[in-house]
Amino acid sequence: MKRLCAVALFASIPLFSHAEGPDIAEHKKMVLENIDGRIANLNRAKECVGAAQTKDAMKACHEQLQNEQKNLRLQKRGKK
């Protein structure tokens, strides 16, 4: 049984190392764009909350952030 697990582990190594091929640059680009988008959304939310004077205004900031994050996810799905 231990041998079988060891063989399965070593047989799967080439599958995982494939991620370091030429496609890694494109994947890194997409991940970094996603991170930049989330940072931008959070910075806008931070400014909104900083300017908010009431709980309703803060709630609006939160809803705006949620909508922006949702739009970012939808854009990401559209690029695939």
Structure tokens at 26: 């494109």
What confidence score (pLDDT) does residue 12 get? 54
Cβ proximity of 41 and 73 under 8 Å: no
First to last CA, the chain: 40
Tell me the whole-structure pTM to 2 decimals: 0.65
How high is the mean pLDDT in each 10-residue block of the chain (80 residues)? 54 55 87 94 97 97 96 82
Angle at 41 between CA 65 and CA 26, to 5 degrees: 125
pLDDT of residue 42: 97
The confidence score (pLDDT) of residue 22 equals 73
- Can you give the pLDDT at residue 78? 80
Cα separation, 19 vs 25, whole angstroms: 10
